[in-house]
Amino acid sequence: MTSPHTWTLPVHPSAVQVLTNGYQSWSEAELRPLTDLQARAAYQWMLDQGQDPAFAPTGEAGVWRSHTLIALIREDGSGWVGCLMNARRTFAHWEARADGNHVTLTCTLEGPAAPVTLEDTADVLGTLEALSARLARNMAARTPPPLRVWCSWYSYYRSVTMADMLDNARQARDAGLPFDVFQLDDGFQADLGDWFEPSAGFGGHARDLPGALQALGFRAGLWLAPFLVGPRSRLRAEHPEWLLQAEDGTPMLLGDNWGGPYHALDTTHPDALAWLRTLAATCREWGYDYLKVDFLYAAAHPGRRHDPAVSRAEAYRMGLQALRDGFGDDGFLLACGAPLAQSIGLVDAMRTGPDVAPLWDEETRRVRLGDAAGPSTRNALHTALSRWYQHTWYQPDPDVMIARREQSLLNDHERGALLGLLDVIGGLRASSDPIHLLDQAGLELLRRSLNISTPDRPRGLTRQWGGAVTHFTRGTF
Ligand code: 9PG
């Protein structure tokens, strides 16, 4: 941890809005009046899974925390942009504070020294884009053409079967739907870490899927949470020494999903790194050339590591590099639940918001529990829109369109908003709808959502929309 840079900005706190960038894919990013309150999640597992437990919002009005970069914007579009210019081994923790009649801005680095810039500008949005693009160049960003993906998660969840995958691929082929990739999500594996053994319900083995998908004309994609280890998994029993430790030296438990907390792999352990390389290489041998690697923040979680000299950012990057090395340079990696800037140059695409869900908003979790990282269409759009400038870092993945009318609480207006805003955000296009649930209108909506678009630049500052303060240029609703 280096000593912080501190600046005093000569502007009244009530005269600026702050644009924050949350820590990882699901963490909230937003544009808000500086004098407002930044939400802090009520439970530790939410801080672990949706914010940065080492740099979470304070719960104090007028204090805003942001990762990598921050912008302060006056009504006329002028203001300041602060940005870390190389995130390979370092986190930058920004805090803007309303301080009497001015604003105090601090930047604290966690990890080795790295260049940080603060620019005073007449055009905050333009400067933000320029600095983002420079960061992307400094880290040799990968932005291959975006793909159109069918993903099993948002309709089959963990009950997905081999037959569901093949039925949908066959129906998509028969309907001439322009998907590039069919991606199997969570549910096929025996446990977190035991990726080579099938779950009881999957009805097959993940290694047998790529050949069948390719025969139908699609590339094959697979989901992994490569840095997570289930408490009851075989991996946990065989290699407890590969796990991130709590202060007392026992394997740490963090987050809460799949009915409880889970362990994280210690990516500074050479044998754990070798295992990660083999894992990615094996998926490639099975015929997958697209991997959705999820819950990646776990490799950067605070804790005791085999090599204590390695920073959290660097430990994360070592794990991600091992996956890239195993999967090959020409494989497509989509990161999810991932520290954002620290992934530049190693991944092809990035989820830039929380999950879409077949409902608009889950107010209890968002408002009462202070956690906007939970799945909802509103949360997904709100955060992905607030990261529009990150399209130079990798292909943004704003998550799936939901075109179906069955098994969904979204109304026509909400479906229209989702379609229009996915178009504004750009990047990957995806769907999870069971093809047989789509009538003519549903198929038409799905086809429109699969049109690749160029990310839009916001025209104005803010707009009150659907309970979210955000900014965008156009939408078809
Ligand atoms: C598989 C899913 C899907 C999905 C991922 C991730 O904080 N949360 O409540 C939370 C819920 C779901 C979630 C992440 C966080 O989903 O984003 O696309 O792959 O895992 O389990």
Cα diameter, the chain: 66
The minimum-distance atom of ligand 1 relative to the CA of 223 is 19
What secondary structure does DSSP assign to 145-176, as a single string?
Answer: PP-EEEESHHHHGGG--HHHHHHHHHHHHHHT
The helix-helix angle for 377-385 and 412-425 (nearest 10°) equals 30
Sequence letter at residue 92: A
CA of 298 to the centre of ligand 1 (A): 13
Total-model pTM: 0.96
**Inside any domain, residue 99:** yes
What is the reported pLDDT for 292?
Answer: 99
The pick from 25, 26, 262 for probing ligand 1's pocket by mutation, whose C-beta has the most ligand atoms within 8 angstroms, reads 26
The CB density around residue 73, as the number of other CB atoms within 10 Å, is 24
Q: Are residues 58 and 188 in the same domain?
A: no
Q: Are residues 131 and 223 in the same domain?
A: no
**Inside any domain, residue 143:** no
- Residue 285's φ and ψ, nearest 5 degrees, are -65, -35
What is the reported pLDDT for 473?
Answer: 37
Q: Are residues 49 and 164 in the same domain?
A: no
Q: Are residues 332 and 221 in the same domain?
A: yes
What is the reported pLDDT for 456?
Answer: 83
For the chain, the domain total comes to 2
The minimum-distance atom of ligand 1 relative to the CA of 354 is 17
**Inside any domain, residue 114:** yes
**Inside any domain, residue 397:** yes
Q: Are residues 172 and 39 in the same domain?
A: no
Q: Are residues 117 and 217 in the same domain?
A: no
Ligand 1 neighbour 336 (Cβ under 6 A): yes
Q: Are residues 86 and 127 in the same domain?
A: yes
List of the chain residues with pLDDT < 70: 1-3, 459-477
What is the reported pLDDT for 2?
Answer: 63
Q: Are residues 91 and 171 in the same domain?
A: no
Give me the sign of the Cα torsion angle 293, 295, 301, 303: negative
**Inside any domain, residue 447:** yes
**Inside any domain, residue 18:** yes
CA distance linking residue 64 with residue 107, whole number of Å: 12
User: At which of 82, 104, 138 does a domain end?
Assistant: 138
CA distance linking residue 323 with residue 275, whole number of Å: 9
Q: Are residues 117 and 214 in the same domain?
A: no
Ligand 1 neighbour 154 (Cβ under 6 A): no
User: At which of 109, 138, 167 does a domain end?
Assistant: 138
| Element holding 299 (H helix, E strand) | none
Determine the distance from the C-alpha atom of residue 165 to the mean position of all C-alpha atoms in its chain, rounded to a whole number: 24
The minimum-distance atom of ligand 1 relative to the CA of 50 is 7
Q: Whose CA is nearest to atom 14 of ligand 1?
A: 355
Distances (CA, A) of 38 to 1, 7, 52, 69, 72: 24, 21, 14, 16, 15
Q: Where are the alpha helices (DSSP H) in 75-208?
A: 124-138, 153-156, 162-175
Answer whether 152's CB lies under 8 Å from 185's CB: yes
**Inside any domain, residue 25:** yes
Q: Tell me, what CATH number does 358's domain have?
A: 3.20.20.70
Q: Are residues 232 and 90 in the same domain?
A: no
Q: Whose CA is nearest to atom 3 of ligand 1?
A: 153
Q: Whose CA is nearest to atom 8 of ligand 1?
A: 374
Q: Which domain holds residue 71?
A: 5-138
What is the reported pLDDT for 339?
Answer: 98
What is the reported pLDDT for 1?
Answer: 59
**Inside any domain, residue 477:** no
Query: What letters, b where the CB count within 10 A reaches 16 and e where it falls short, cover 241-280?
Result: ebbbbeeeeebbbbbeeeeebbbbbbbbbeebbebbbebb
Q: Are residues 58 and 161 in the same domain?
A: no
User: At which of 138, 161, 180 does a domain end?
Assistant: 138
Non-local (6+) Cβ contacts of 232 within 8 A are 191
CA distance linking residue 246 with residue 242, whole number of Å: 13
What is the reported pLDDT for 463?
Answer: 45
The pick from 44, 149, 294 for probing ligand 1's pocket by mutation, whose C-beta has the most ligand atoms within 8 angstroms, reads 294
Q: Are residues 201 and 100 in the same domain?
A: no
Q: Which two tokens stand for residue 94?
A: 């920004």
Looking at residue 56, what DSSP letter applies? -
